[in-house]
């Protein structure tokens, strides 16, 4: 009788550990998908940044307004560079199976993913703000 109870306890704790373990990769996978969705949302804007830089460059001169165009152009270029750096660093931290296939992350890589999520959200804001400012200037 004691042996059966012990076996039931072991099976129950094994199931509990397995069920608990299954949820973590699912949450990691969801977080990775959210990070990649933000990337996918802002990546097409790199082409918009290039076009806006060209339009602003044509208006840069030594006047105060020209300096505003120059600052907006600089902000766009910095946003573009930040995106390229983010992608490069992200690719160094995670392999394709972690990014695309939802492979479980180590504790260290989970911390990295938390950091990268914050970075890509800040990057999205930087890109959107620099584009909005440039478009506003060009419409004046």
Average pLDDT of span 106-127: 96
Domain extent listing, the chain: 25-139
Average pLDDT of span 85-104: 93
Tracing tokens 């419409």 back to the chain, one arrives at 139
Residues 21-61 have pLDDT tens digits of 444 567 778 999 999 999 999 999 999 999 999 999 999 98
End-to-end C-alpha distance for the chain, whole angstroms: 85
Does the reported pTM lie above 0.95? no
pLDDT band at 2, cuts 50/70/90? Answer: low
Three-state DSSP state, 106: coil
Residue among 126, 112, 95, 132 nearest 31 (CA): 112
pLDDT of residue 113: 96
């Amino acid at each position: 009788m004691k042996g059966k109870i012990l076996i039931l306890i072991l099976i129950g704790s094994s199931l509990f550990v397995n069920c608990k373990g299954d949820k973590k990769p699912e949450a990691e996978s969801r977080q990775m998908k959210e990070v990649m969705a933000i990337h996918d949302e802002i990546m097409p804007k790199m082409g918009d940044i290039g076009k806006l830089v060209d339009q602003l460059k044509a208006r840069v001169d030594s006047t105060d307004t020209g300096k505003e165009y120059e600052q907006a152009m600089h902000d766009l270029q910095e946003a573009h560079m930040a995106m390229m750096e983010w992608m490069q660093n992200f690719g160094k931290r995670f392999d394709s199976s972690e990014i695309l296939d939802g492979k479980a992350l180590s504790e260290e890589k989970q911390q990295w993913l938390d950091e990268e999520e914050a970075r890509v959200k800040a990057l999205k804001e930087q890109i959107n703000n620099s584009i909005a400012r440039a478009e506003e200037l060009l419409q004046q």
